Amino acid sequence: MITTIRLLLTILIALLNICVVYSQNKHNLGVININNYTPKDYNNAHPQNKGVVQDNRGICYIANPAGVLQFDGHNWVLTKLNNNETVTSIASNKSGKIFVGATNSFGYLSSTENGSLTYISISDSLVNDSIKFGDVKQIKSN
């Protein structure tokens, strides 16, 4: 009698183990979930991106010739520069401030009262505004 109960328990445990093994999805085991986005996904911006940074909250900012793309994991927002300059570079500092380089312009992003982003040009404050320095291809920050 005890031998029969042990045999039944052994078979039951074996069946439960088989169910657990088959419930695992073997096909996706170890596969990283990667999403590809097209320009249609991100507000029909330019298909080429020049750089990516992430702020302290985990929001991604992408330097795109059409402006700065902001992505929170679900939604895309395009922030255009003041004179529709072509964005060529992007960087962030330790405090999370986002700096933007463009054609003949450089500045940073600032939040408005309603929470949207606006571009604040630093280069507009230069004394000689007739200087054309071309594309700002790299920004250093700390």
Q: What is the pLDDT of residue 2?
A: 72
The predicted structure's pLDDT at residue 24? 53
Written as one letter, the residue type at 105 is S
Q: Are the C-beta atoms of residues 62 and 55 closer than 8 Å to each other?
A: no
Residues of the chain with pLDDT under 70: 1, 12, 15-29, 127, 129
pLDDT of residue 48: 93
Of 133, 103, 110, 108, the closest CA to residue 121 belongs to 108
Q: Going by DSSP bridges, is the β-strand pair 67-71/105-111 parallel, antiparallel, or unpaired?
A: unpaired
pLDDT for the residue numbered 77: 94
CB 123 within 8 A of CB 139: no
CA distance 42 to 35: 13
pLDDT of residue 26: 61
User: Are β-strands 76-79 and 87-92 bridged in parallel, bridged antiparallel, or unpaired?
Assistant: unpaired
The pLDDT of residue 83:
85
